Amino acid sequence: METKAIQPKSIVDITTDFLPLQGTDYVEFYVGNAKQAAHFYKTAFGFQSLAYAGPETGVKDKVSYVIRQNKLTFVLTTPLRTCNAIAHHIYLHGDAVKVIALKVEDATAAWKATTERGGKSYLKPKTVKDDDGEVIVSGIHTYGETVHLFVERKNYNGLFLPGFREWKSDYNPAATGLLYVDHCVGNVGWNQMNPWVRFYEEVMGFKNILSFDDKDISTEYSSLMSKVMSNGNGFVKFPINEPAEGKKKSQVEEYLDFYNGEGVQHVAIATADIIKTVTDLKKRGVEFLKIPQSYYKDVLDRVGKIDEDLRPLSQLGILIDRDEEGYLLQIFSKPVEDRPTLFFEVIQRKGAKSFGKGNFKALFEALEKEQELRGNL
């Protein structure tokens, strides 16, 4: 079993970082019914209503609801007509992540630097204005039909972006303690992991901070390979998965089949109290993968002493792993749509900066059980 930890802290020299990123600005989903999706994320995950754009604000072909919880902002967009790029995206991929927007100081420089290095332009730098100031947005394509937007909002004081108005709602479920995007994972096709690793290195100046080969991430039946890419300050991390040969179908392959190509597999969201957050999410109907109780029999022998009682962790199905710097607690939801595609992770880091390698086997066995029930293993 070989895991290559390449420069665990992997900090690009910040003075020479050609793409300084301040973190994830927002994640935009193209969905079949944004009104209902917004209700789901508010009810189940504890987001609050923030902003809205649609026919009433002068947008004639689509509607977007913006919801927020702490530093986590989701945009849910649905098309109003049949023949357009958003409708086609939903037809091909189902409800899916379209945009991972990154906050930058200078969106023009970000676009120039990345397109000069071979990134394919999605949106040339564009200034959008309203009474609250201006925002410059630009963007490039990444794997599949997913895109990265660069958002420069230092001269803007509005709620979200120009063109959006406040969304006031009488329905305001309490928050669940979700804080910010920890990482976003992409599933890519056979032999496509390394080309996309090179894309993040060459076009965006990221570093490969961890690699897992097919022996690290395999069960009796299926396997995958993964490399974790991080930007210079570590605020933005993109693991990239590719399927690997096994006795049966890799979970990444199942995703690729149902997504009709490459796309975002999961968004990991940080919390400061995973037991509280997950207890709350479960009560609100969020479904998580079930972990066999046998996992908890010897987990503390592997990870050592932790602050939490094991009992609530085992009742909820929260996984534990440790690296040189500390430990982490994590749990994975079931897919949040009927296609076995996008799901969420909730993660609490207690020093550990890694990605739960010790949990892969238990996690993938749990995933395979679900895959088998769908008849796709």
How is the beta sheet containing 96-104 ordered, strand by strand? 121-130, 133-141, 147-152, 96-104, 21-30, 72-79, 62-69, 48-53, 165-166
**What gap in Å lies between CA 53 and CA 64, rounded to an integer?**
5
Does position 97 interact with Fe ion (CB under 5 A)? The reply is no
**Distance, CA of 192 to CA of 203 (rounded, Å):** 16
By the rule CB under 5 A, 345 interacts with Fe ion: yes
Environment class of residue 116 by beta-carbon count within 10 Å: exposed (0-12), middle (13-18) or buried (19+)?
Answer: exposed
| Ranges of H-type helices in the chain | 34-45, 85-93, 107-116, 193-202, 251-259, 274-283, 294-297, 299-303, 310-316, 360-373
* For Fe ion, the closer CB: 145 or 345: 345
Angle, CA 92 vertex, CA 91 and CA 97 arms, to 5°: 95
Asked if residue 260 lies in contact with residue 233, where contact means CB atoms within 8 angstroms, the answer is no
Out of 44, 203, 225, 268, the residue judged to bind Fe ion by CB under 5 A: 268
DSSP 8-state secondary structure symbol assigned to residue 37: H
137 vs 240, beta carbon nearer Fe ion = 240
* Least Å from the CB of residue 121 to Fe ion: 29
Q: How many residues bind Fe ion (CB under 5 A)?
A: 2
Nearer Cβ to Fe ion (27/268): 268
User: Parallel, antiparallel, or unpaired: how do β-strands 147-152 and 96-104 relate?
Assistant: parallel
Near Fe ion by CB under 5 A, which window of 105-113, 189-197, 266-274, 287-295? Answer: 266-274
Say if CB 252 and CB 266 are below 8 A apart. no
Among 167-175, 261-269, 310-318, 368-376, the segment contacting Fe ion (CB under 5 A): 261-269
Q: Which of residues 51 and 240 has its CB atom nearest to Fe ion in the complex?
A: 240
Q: Does 182 bind Fe ion (CB under 5 A)?
A: no
At closest approach, how far in Å is the CB of 342 from Fe ion?
12
Among residues 192 and 265, whose Cβ is nearest to Fe ion?
265
State the minimum distance, in angstroms, from the CB of residue 371 to Fe ion.
18
Q: Taking CB under 5 A as the rule, does residue 342 contact Fe ion? A: no
* CB closest to Fe ion, residue no: 268
Interface with Fe ion, residue 104, by CB under 5 A: no
Report in angstroms how near the CB of residue 112 gets to Fe ion at its nearest. Answer: 31
Nearer to Fe ion, 217 or 268 (CB): 268
Residues interacting with Fe ion, by CB under 5 A? 268, 345
